[in-house]
Amino acid sequence: MSTTADPLAALGALPGVAESVESVRKAVDRVYGHRIMRRRSNAVTSEAALRAARGSAALSGADWALEEVRRRTDFGTDDDARVMGAALRLTAEAGQLLSIWRQSPLRVLARLHLVAAASDESRVGRPRQASEVVDEPLIELPLPDAREVSGRLDGLADLIIAGSSAPALVTAAVVHGELLALRPFTSHNGLVARAAERIVLIGSGLDPKAVCPAEVGHAEQGRAEYLAALEGYVSGTPEGMAAWIAHCGRAVEFGVRESTAVCEALQRGAA
């Protein structure tokens, strides 16, 4: 990342990033301009949250049909069910943490992990220690040690607290990518990273009604593309960083498409 006073803004100047930002802005404006959003935005928000949780869980190995997520009430029966339950809890919790994020992002991340893990074990709700193993089998990138994790988490928190002139998409992509790269907790890092991205997109004002679920778009692009884009972020090269931001931008646009379809269904009286 750049060493300038506003490194996030420097990433916004990378080739191709401005185009991604503008494409996302136009897509978001279109769905917010839909006539259903003036009358039934709460219904669209609720449906987007369900689809966001389903998409995030799919990327963590629990790829359920939407109707199965809608039907189920017990999410503690097996590993996939627990992943889905964690994703649903995180999606609901994210909206409650918006006011805290800009003042204390590390506190929010700890809370997200606590909600995802739904456990009172001592390793839950805090960054992992040197002796602890990370359970994140779907991400096979080299794992930073606990000391590096601590330093980079502090750096990320400082960036959030200081604020930036960077577009929301850039900030959301960096938060998401950094948490996936670090895997700071002993479990549920992917779910937490995507929930944190959600918080940035909503809290920034880009998607204040939470109707543009990037989680849907990340899942729709597929796990292989997701991990390939993440490798670009981890590389730290300008090209790799720009490719990751563009991937996150496409994810938001896919989320917009999903909610636009929900709007159309509501307009027809079919949902």
Distances 243 to 22, 152, 156 between C-alpha atoms, Å: 15, 21, 20
Residue 120 has pLDDT above 90, yes or no: no
Three-state DSSP at 187 gives: strand
Could you report the per-residue pLDDT of 45-100, keeping only the tens digit for each? 999 999 999 999 999 999 999 999 999 888 877 999 999 999 999 999 999 999 99
pLDDT, one tens digit per residue, over 159-171 is: 999 999 999 999 9
For the cut 50, the answer to whether the pLDDT of residue 3 exceeds it is no
Report the distance separating Cα 74 and Cα 21, nearest Å.
39
- Predicted confidence band at 269 (pLDDT cuts at 50, 70, 90)? confident
Q: Is the pLDDT of residue 121 over 90?
A: no
How many Å apart are CA 33 and CA 80, to the nearest integer? 37
